[in-house]
Each structure stands twice: as structure tokens, then as C-alpha cells.
Amino acid sequence: MTKGKTVAEINEWWPKLSAESKNALVERPGEVLSLEIREEIRAITGEFVPAQTMLSDDDIEFIKTQREAVD
């Protein structure tokens, strides 16, 4: 994640994120993270997630790989 202070790596918190939050990030990857999502990431990682935090291009690519079907 970028735009402000870098927080924990996505591979640390994505697997533990709620389905609702995951869906919100998939639907709106280029938007600023909502307070609810930032609080959920903070609860998982113990790290503060600043307002105005957005997914980086690498984060968005990571999410795409996690959602692809595996043969």
C-alpha cells in the first residue's frame, strides 16, 4: 500500500480479511481504503493504517492472483 506511510505487506493481512472487505477492494481497487477496511487491517496486523491509504499497483496485482482459479 502506498499514499502516505507504508503499512504491513498485503500477503500478511489479505488472507485474514473478511469476505466483505475483500469484495469491496476487488470492486474499487483504485479508491482510498474505507475506515472499516483500515480498521480491519489494523486489527489483523497491529499497525495503524493512515487515512488516504490506497492499494499500490503491486497490491492490486496480488489480489488478482489470489482470486484466479487454480487448476
The predicted model scores a pTM of 0.83
Specify if 3 maps to a domain.
no
Specify if 30 maps to a domain.
yes
**Within 10 A of 41 (CB to CB), how many other CB atoms are there?**
25
Contact 14, 58 (CB under 8 A): no
CA 9 to mean position of chain CA atoms: 9
Which tens digit of pLDDT belongs to each residue from 14-24? Answer: 999 999 999 99
Specify if 2 maps to a domain.
no
> In total, how many domains does the chain have?
1
The stretches in the chain having pLDDT less than 50 are 2-6, 70-71
Contact 17, 40 (CB under 8 A): yes
pLDDT value of position 4: 43
Domain containing residue 60: 10-67
Residue type, position 38, single letter:
R
Q: How far apart are CA 65 and CA 49, in angstroms?
A: 23
